[in-house]
Amino acid sequence: MLQYRDLKNAIHDLGVKRSEPTLVHASAALIPQVKGGIQTMLGAILAGIDNMLMPSFTFKTMLIPEIGPEENLIEYGSGREENLNASIFTPDLPADFEDQAISEVFRHYPDVNRSNHPILSFLGLGLDGALQAQSTADPYGHIRYLLGKNAKVLLIGKDISALFSIHACEQESGRKQFLRWAMTEEGIKECPSFPGCSNGFHKVLFHLEGEVRQVTVQDQPWYSFSLDSLTRTTLQLLREDPYALLCNDLHCEKCNLIRKDIRQRRG
């Protein structure tokens, strides 16, 4: 069983400084391994970090329209029945992604606020400026807001594919992303720059070399990155090789469509 002290020490060993704004991705799969569960996990995280962001994704707001752009991996018109069950995004809508158990407890902490992207919202403590910088039209605004501010990214029991910040680099580099739709209080909204596949993101580790801190907790690696160096390295990589960080699954529709888009743009 992991104790509060183990988690606190691991976060300390990852070089996270209390004053640095930190994007935290924490795995709900860890909960049964921690004495005291979610409260202990959040307690240890907040003991080491003053200002943090955490995902609070809500995929149940998504809709499939009757028509839309081509090359978007959606079968238009196929959602007539499921659309009826879509939820309207509000700041109080519970998250429904794999780590929702932790994110839902954090959401109810005092002074925690939420951005208003209907699918890819983040929770924030002490980072209202970042939360306001994300919008439906700009799902990566909060990441850009944190650039140049000594921000860290922390992966607690999550693998590299959880790095949402890399999707921000993909957008910045001009890589094809997708258009999705979500139900909001103002009706159905288009959500541009929706991220593609992240299964190839681990390839970035090789290029980061000395810029990653890693500790092993119960045989599992936990990581911390400087957001600035992660962003700089990823952007350079994507500039040098537009096919970088795509996954190796020959049947991955998203990555294959991105490859096709790159080939077309290169003529």
Residues that bind Zn ion (CB under 5 A): 197, 199, 247, 252, 255
Shortest Cβ 182–Zn ion spacing (Å): 23
Task: Extract the tokens encoding 244.
Answer: 């970088």
Task: Extract the tokens encoding 171.
Answer: 């957008």
Shortest Cβ 241–Zn ion spacing (Å): 16
- Per-position b or e across 219-250, b if 16+ CB within 10 A of its CB: eeebbbbbbbebbebbbebbeeebebbbbeee
Shortest Cβ 53–Zn ion spacing (Å): 25
State the virtual CA torsion across 45, 47, 48, 50 in degrees, nearest 10: 100
By C-beta, is 12 or 203 nearer to Zn ion? 203
Shortest Cβ 73–Zn ion spacing (Å): 11
Half-sphere exposure of 48 (CA within 13 A, CB side): 24
The answer to whether residues 54 and 107 touch, using CB atoms and an 8 Å cutoff, is no
The residue whose two tokens read 């079968």 is 75
The answer to whether residues 124 and 52 touch, using CB atoms and an 8 Å cutoff, is yes
Task: Extract the tokens encoding 234.
Answer: 């990823």
Determine phi and psi for 182, rounding to 5 degrees. -145, 155
By C-beta, is 183 or 255 nearer to Zn ion? 255
Q: Amino acid identity of 62? A: M
By C-beta, is 197 or 217 nearer to Zn ion? 197
Q: Could you give the 3-state DSSP secondary structure of residue 46?
A: helix
Shortest Cβ 259–Zn ion spacing (Å): 10
Task: Quote the CA–CA distance of 10 and 217 in Å, as a whole number.
Answer: 7
By C-beta, is 93 or 258 nearer to Zn ion? 258
Shortest Cβ 95–Zn ion spacing (Å): 24
By C-beta, is 88 or 205 nearer to Zn ion? 205
- Look at residues 59, 177, 188 and name the one whose alpha carbon lies nearest to residue 121: 59
Residue 39 CB partners (closer than 8 Å, separation 6+): 105
By C-beta, is 8 or 259 nearer to Zn ion? 259
Shortest Cβ 246–Zn ion spacing (Å): 6
- Look at residues 172, 176, 166, 229 and name the one whose alpha carbon lies nearest to residue 199: 166
By C-beta, is 80 or 251 nearer to Zn ion? 251
Shortest Cβ 196–Zn ion spacing (Å): 7
By C-beta, is 131 or 166 nearer to Zn ion? 166
The answer to whether residues 122 and 55 touch, using CB atoms and an 8 Å cutoff, is yes
